Structure 1
Amino acid sequence: MRQKIFIKQTCRALLLYFICLTIAVAIDLIFFKVKNMYHTPALVAIFSGWVYLGLIQKTKQFGAVTCLGLFMSIFFFTSGHFVLTFLPSLLAGLGADLLAKKGNYENYENDKVNLLSYMVFSLGNLGPIVTMWLAPKAYSAQLLAKGKTQD
């Protein structure tokens, strides 16, 4: 029964997190009128904190945050981002889950360890931006292969 609740809560958090991501992208496109999405990781972090903290409070079990990081990794990989963008989200999700476990998933609003865990998790959304810095030639080559211009 506990496993069923864990899966249900994790799936609900995945859906809510994706909605927060969609809102952040919409704000970036509509209000900031940019296509490079530099603001999106910060906006996602602002809008989705309640989803993350609610998830660790309700599940109080290792694996939920890792699943969320895996979801973001798969999203980046399947949505046409640079090949290595899946790695930061996956590693940030795993690292955040380990930190949340260290904080015993308790007192989610006041616990500094769980807030630090959320900060680590949020760094995973920098994957597309970080890969531009770490592998600029490979990143540019992939964009050119997709038919994008260097402008």
Structure 2
Amino acid sequence: MTATFDQCIDISNSLLRGELSAVETYTQALQKFSRKPEHAILESIRADHRDSVQRLRAHIDDLGVQPDISSGVWGQFAKAVEGFAKVFGHTTTLMALEAGELSGIDDYYCALSDPEVMDDIKDEIRTVLLPRLERHLDSLRVLRAR
């Protein structure tokens, strides 16, 4: 394998770990909003992150490499949100979710600017993954403003 190929795999797996963490985070947050109108929106966002996991796994599979299966260090973010949800109110939990979406947006922009990331992955980021996170951020801000 070349350094370029290895770097593309590393970046793709990092994005995958971020999406896996997002799924975990929303799963935890949904417990806080189980009987609230926000539940449906948060459930939809979690479903988007699950789909993003599948898309990234498919790209990594196409590279002939086993995709990461856990969120790794990113999973700590999910645990932090769980703690926020138990101790603080809905607004703080929504702010933590916004922070996670912003982090994901930053990660995707970094991947887009990296010349080692393959074009087909960049196309997926531009057309599906990044716009999705931007919509999530808008939805979370609307929920928090209520």
Tell me the TM-score normalised to structure 2 length. Answer: 0.39
Q: Which has the larger radius of gyration?
A: 1
Tell me the TM-score normalised to structure 1 length. Answer: 0.38
Higher relative contact order (CA 8 A, sep 6+): 2
Name the structure with the higher helix share.
2
